[in-house]
Structure 1
Amino acid sequence: MLILLCNDDGIHAEGLHTLYESIKSLGRVVVVAPDQEQSASSHSITLHQPLRLKKHQQNFYSVTGTPADCITLGVHEVLKKKPDLVVSGINHGANLGYDVHYSGTVSAAMEGTIMGIKSLAFSSVFLEEKPRFKPAALFAKRLIKSLGRHELPEGVMLNVNIPNVAASQLKGPVICRLGMRHYGEVIVQKLDPRGRKYYWIGGDQKNFADIPGSDCNAVIEKKIAITPLSIQMTDFSFLEKMRNWKI
């Protein structure tokens, strides 16, 4: 099996290396990851400046771009063919609910899905506590092995969130819908030494919406949450209603 491994936390991230060590026995695993932090880069691609590809060691490459860039260069330049699987993660933090629209980790897997490659994204759900990546990496290996017995529909990837607890405390996995996360203040305003305003975007997480069957509810219960995500974003139920609009 040929696996292309990526993330959005960068080539040196602990979650990436822990996942590599866990799945390298499954076949040839090639890492193509951003050269620096690319969290919340979503599905952006680099069009207005050149990209540089650097080989660090055998099967490890970094790219001066986004996670989606990494998948593109990984497939077309490093591997020069489609891998059997694209794996993204392990993300340093959750990708629950609306997070998936902003996540570079999820978007790397989504880029693989667009290319017609079976793809998965893994995230470890932690805030301030010390991350435990090994239980997440062991589950990732288990799920990848199970894909040999199951087929993913065309255009569908799996988004996996693993609670940051000891392996003995993990429950599930459970198949979930996306939930909703609520955040605090989004804009932080400060002054530079010359008295000019500048801003940081990003609020603290406050809580989850209580939605039974959602990924957010699952991880609160220490359950591994698996959510199938589709690249087809059309709302078909509203599509039919909208055809009756008089515009």
Structure 2
Amino acid sequence: MRILIANDDGYLAPGIAALVQACQGLGEIDVFAPERNASGTSNALTLHQPLSLHTAPSGFRYVNGTPSDCVHLALTAGVIPRPDLVLSGINNGANMGDDTLYSGTVAAATEGFLFGVPAIAFSLVDKGWQHLDAAARVARRIVEHVLAHPPAASPWLLNVNMPSTEGLEQADWQLTRLGRRHASFPAVAQHNPRGDLFYWIGPAGEAREDGDGTDFHAVRQGHVSITPLQVDMTDHARLPQWRNWLSQP
């Protein structure tokens, strides 16, 4: 068993160190992570500047690029053998609902999935790393479970969100679907000391589709949310309507 671990918070983040430590003994571990925090970079690949690969004293490899760059290099540059499993995280904050479209954590796992490698993205819902050790132990148990009981269809892609609560290790695991958020809050305009205007992207919107069965609902109830993801964004349910639209004279 060979496991590739990546993240979007950067190779110095506590979350990736905790995940690596938790997975010791499960197989050979390789770490490829961004040099700096790359949250919100989604599935971006760096195409117009070269990427450099360095090794930290910890043995972690780090890349001056995005989470997807990290996994892409690990899988295509010939630096390491092909992994059997890609893990991403543990992220500092939730990746639920629409977050998955923007998340670098989910993107790193998705890059492995696109190359035919099963992958899991792990996130700790509240920022600040509270209960990180417990989250890492839960992550290991989930990895052990998929190794002991491999899903029938491979590759597969899982998005795991863990509540930052006491008793996390005793929390139930629930299979969920993605909820939805309201639109993000407006961009925030500020002036720097020289009077130049710049903007900060506003925070994510509140949950709006968060009923029973969603990732939002599961986490709010104190459960660990496990959501199987796919890359196919085709609107299958409305394909017949679009066929009718296309056939209009």
Counterpart of 1:187?
187
Q: Distance in 2 between matches of 1:167 and 1:21?
A: 20
The 1:242–1:215 alpha-carbon spacing in structure 2 relative to 1, beyond 3 Å, is same
Q: Distance in 1 between matches of 2:56 and 2:77?
A: 16
Q: Distance in 1 between matches of 2:62 and 2:129?
A: 26
Counterpart of 1:34?
34
Q: Distance in 2 between matches of 1:5 and 1:119?
A: 10
Counterpart of 2:67?
67
Task: Give the C-alpha shift of residue 8 in structure 1.
Answer: 0.0
Identity of aligned residues (%): 39
Counterpart of 1:143?
142
Q: Please identify which structure carries the higher strand content.
A: 1
Q: SS at 2:241's partner residue?
A: helix
- Which amino acid in structure 2 is aligned with residue 28 of structure 1? E
Structure 1 contact 34–70 (Cα < 8 Å) conserved: yes
Task: Give the C-alpha shift of residue 236 in structure 1.
Answer: 1.3
Larger CA deviation: 206-215 vs 230-239:
206-215
Structure 1 contact 10–38 (Cα < 8 Å) conserved: yes
Q: SS at 1:230's partner residue?
A: coil
Task: Give the C-alpha shift of residue 140 in structure 1.
Answer: 1.1
Structure 1 contact 156–228 (Cα < 8 Å) conserved: yes
Q: Distance in 2 between matches of 1:152 and 1:106?
A: 22
Larger CA deviation: 22-31 vs 183-192:
183-192
- Which amino acid in structure 2 is aligned with residue 74 of structure 1? A
Q: Distance in 2 between matches of 1:169 and 1:21?
A: 17
Residue 56, structure 1, aligned to residue 78, structure 2: no
Counterpart of 1:4?
4
Counterpart of 2:211?
211
Q: Distance in 1 between matches of 2:26 and 2:79?
A: 17
- Which amino acid in structure 1 is aligned with residue 52 of structure 2? R
Counterpart of 1:201?
201
- Which amino acid in structure 1 is aligned with residue 136 of structure 2? A
Q: Which runs of 5+ in 2 are unaligned?
A: none
Q: Deviations over 1:66-121 (max 9, x none)?
A: 00000011122364442000000000000010000000000000000000000000
Task: Give the C-alpha shift of residue 170 in structure 1.
Answer: 4.4
Q: Which runs of 5+ in 1 are unaligned?
A: none
Task: Give the C-alpha shift of residue 241 in structure 1.
Answer: 2.3
Residue 113, structure 1, aligned to residue 109, structure 2: no
Counterpart of 1:133?
132
Q: SS at 1:190's partner residue?
A: strand
- Which amino acid in structure 1 is aligned with residue 46 of structure 2? T
The 1:204–1:77 alpha-carbon spacing in structure 2 relative to 1, beyond 3 Å, is closer
Structure 2 contact 10–36 (Cα < 8 Å) conserved: yes
Larger CA deviation: 74-83 vs 8-17:
74-83
The 1:168–1:72 alpha-carbon spacing in structure 2 relative to 1, beyond 3 Å, is closer
Q: SS at 2:74's partner residue?
A: helix
RMSD of aligned residue pairs (Cα, Å):
1.9
Larger CA deviation: 78-87 vs 100-109:
78-87
**Number of equivalenced pairs:** 246
